[in-house]
Amino acid sequence: MVAALLPLSLVAQTKPAPRAANGKPDLSGFWKGPLLRTMFESSGGPQFTAAGKAAYEANLKSPNPEGLCLFAGIPRASISGVPFEIVQNPTRIAFLYELMTTWRSIPVDGRKHPDIRDIEPSYFGNGIGRWDGDTLVIDSIGFKEKLSWVDDDAHPHSDQMHVVERWRRPDWDHLEHEVTVEDPKFYTKSWTFRRVFTHMPPGQEVMEFACDENNVDRDKGHLGLGPHDPSKYSGVQ
Amino acid sequence: MKLQSLILCTVLSISSLVAHHSFSAEFDAQKPVTLEGTVTRLEWANPHVYFYIEVKDASGAVTNWGCETGGPNSLIRSGWRRDAMKIGDKVIVKGYRARDNSTTCDARQVTLADGRKVFTGSSDDGGPKQ
């Protein structure tokens, strides 16, 4: 239980998680969490296939796609450090990412994925949701392979990536996010990472972020290549 | 906005926003710069706010610098408004120079014309907090 690990004062102040009219937990809210730089920490580091290693090394010599204003997709958009809003109704749940004003709308109505050949690859993939008790499970396939990193550290993903997200709201102020990623084309084993988001302060709302409005860094060639080294700086999670 | 509330807002916003690119993709933490100059241009736009200042050295020579900060949303949540800095304002910028040694900087702290000091970096971009 994450709540058990929180400071007592925080637990005492928070309210129970709200429930929707259909009895399911209501995940609606405006959520934030710092940039996550430890996606592979609990899994012992990335276990690349030969193709995955080649893709990683190519990424190290490439500009961060986010710096080019390309969509972060998942799992990266949720852990970017930029807040996002969740809007929920009984049959769909929408993620409104402030990062580049992107979104995904996930059906939660019992449907299955289409045939993979009928899915146009995308940055956010084809996601379907279902409830597992009080946990929302989103299963996504059908991703692009080029110009998309899984994190800020240049780790690649292929068009065979399969992402399973488990979202749970233990109380009003917190939202747990557990993600398992498998990608047999680029990685020899799956990995799982976790993150707890907190609710943004009252009065804060999601804002427009038109990334390509004035991308001086890209247009003047200022962008460097590959990720930065988090060990050199403080304050990075 | 009063200084105290501006500082409070700045502290609260530290963990809430990120750059669209990391600090060290463009800037060098080993190249700190402090610039005093006059604002000649302001681009209040995504993905980063850019402002340009004329800096005079001891000999009177003028150098034009372009400095970036976090995006407008980040600055707004830190207590800024788009009219906080105006053309002709004299400002002091503490930041870091670009890796390519151009007169480009990442502004981490700006002392505005009215004396307010504000954090202007993109939070969680991996760059120094000051």
Q: What pLDDT, on a 0 to 100 scale, did the predictor assign at position A233?
A: 38
What would the mean pLDDT of A44-66 be, rounded to a whole number? 95
Task: Give residue A12's pLDDT.
Answer: 52
Contact between A200 and B16 using a beta-carbon 8 Å cutoff: yes
Name which of B26, B127, B129 is nearest A217 (Cβ-Cβ). B26
The answer to whether the CB atoms of B68 and A207 lie below 8 A apart is no
Q: Is the pLDDT of residue A16 over 70?
A: yes
Q: Could B20 and A69 be called an inter-chain contact, meaning their C-beta atoms sit closer than 8 Å?
A: yes
Peptide bond into A75 cis (omega under 30): yes
What pLDDT shows up at residue A232? 42
Q: Residue A154: what are its φ and ψ, rounded to 5°?
A: 70, 10
pLDDT band for position A191 (50/70/90)?
Answer: very high
Residue A71 inside a domain? The answer is yes
Q: Taking CB atoms and an 8 Å cutoff, what residues of chain B touch A35?
A: 18, 124-126
d(CA A5, CA A28): 23
What tokens does A58 get? 């190519």
Q: Which residues of B touch A224 (CB under 8 A)?
A: 24-26, 99
Write down the domain spans for chain B: 3-10+23-119
Q: Which residues of B touch A222 (CB under 8 A)?
A: 26, 98, 100, 102, 104
All residues of chain A having their beta carbon less than 8 Å from the beta carbon of residue B73 are 98, 207, 209
Residue numbers in B near A100 (CB within 8 A): 20
Note whether B21 contacts A209, CB cutoff 8 Å: no
Residues of B in contact with A82 (CB under 8 A): 17-18
Q: Measured between beta carbons, which residues in chain B are less than 8 angstroms from residue A80? A: 18
Res. A230: pLDDT tops 50 = no
Q: Which residues pair with A160 in a beta bridge?
A: none
A69-86 average pLDDT score: 95
Closest CA to B31 of B129, B105, B109, B120: B105
Q: With an 8 Å Cβ cutoff, is B26 touching chain A?
A: yes
- Phi, then psi, of A30 in degrees rounded to 5: -120, 110
The first and second tokens of residue B15, run together, are 């963990």
CATH of the domain at A145: 2.40.128.20
**Is A102 part of a structural domain of the chain?**
yes
0.95 exceeded by pTM: no
SS3 A151: coil
CB contact under 8 A, A81 and B124: yes
**What DSSP assignment string belongs to chain B?**
--HHHHHHHHHHHTTT---SS-GGGTEEEEEEEEEEEEEEEEE--SS--EEEEEEE-TT--EEEEEEE-S-HHHHHHTT--TTSS-TT-EEEEEEEEETT-SSEEEEEEEE-TTS-EEE-S-TTSSS---
pLDDT of B1 higher than 60: no
Residue A187 falls inside a structural domain: yes
Min Cα distance B66 → chain A (Å) is 10
* pLDDT, mean of residues A200-216: 93
CB A98 within 8 A of CB A121: no
Q: Is the pLDDT of residue B18 over 90?
A: no
pLDDT tens digits along B24-37? 667 788 899 999 99
pLDDT digits (tens, 9 = 90+) for B93-113: 999 998 888 899 989 889 999
Instruction: Identify which has the larger pLDDT, B38 or B10.
Output: B38
Mean pLDDT computed over A87-92: 97
Q: Is residue A138 part of a domain?
A: yes
The pLDDT, as a whole number, for residue B117 is: 86
Are B20 and B71 within 8 A, CB to CB?
yes
Asked if residue B48 lies in contact with residue B27, where contact means CB atoms within 8 angstroms, the answer is: no
Q: Which domain holds residue A138?
A: 18-225
Minimal Cα–Cα distance from B115 to chain A, Å? 27
Count Cα atoms within 13 angstroms, Cβ side, for A150: 27
State which residue of chain B sits closest to A226, comparing Cα positions. Answer: B25
B3-10+23-119: CATH superfamily: Nucleic acid-binding proteins (2.40.50.140)
pLDDT at B23 over 90: no
Mean pLDDT, rounded, for A122-137: 98
Which residue did the predictor score with more confidence, A143 or B75?
Answer: A143
Model pLDDT, residue B61: 95
* Yes or no, beta carbons of B104 and A207 under 8 Å apart: no
Are A179 and B16 in contact by the 8 Å Cβ rule? The answer is no
Rounded to whole angstroms, the Cα distance separating A162 from A185 reads 11
> Which chain A residues contact residue B12 at CB under 8 A?
201
The pLDDT of residue B122 is 58
Beta carbons of A66 and B20 less than 8 Å apart: yes
Q: Could you give the CA distance from residue A30 to residue A94 in angstroms, rounded to a whole number? A: 12
Q: In 3D, which of A63, A75, A77 has the Cα closest to residue A180?
A: A75
Residue B2's pLDDT is: 40
- pLDDT above 50: residue A237: no
Query: Is residue A26 assigned to a domain?
Result: yes
Residue whose tokens read 């604002």: B39
Report yes or no: B111 at the A interface, CB cutoff 8 Å: no
Domain count, chain A: 1
Closest to A228 (Cβ–Cβ): which among B14, B25, B71? B25
Identity of the residue in A100, A214, A227 whose CB atom sits nearest the CB atom of B22: A227
Poorest-confidence range of A113-122, A169-178, A223-232? A223-232
What mean pLDDT comes out for the span B15-32? 63
pLDDT digits over A38-47, tens only?
999 999 999 9
Which of the residues B8, B20, B75 would you substitute to probe the A interface, choosing the one with the greatest number of A C-beta atoms within 10 Å? B20
Looking at residues A156-165, what average pLDDT do you find? 98
Structure tokens at A195: 């993150």
Is residue A9 in a domain? no
* pLDDT the model gives residue B86: 95
Q: Regarding predicted confidence, which is higher, B80 or A10?
A: B80
* DSSP code per residue over A95-109: EEETGGGEEEEEE-S
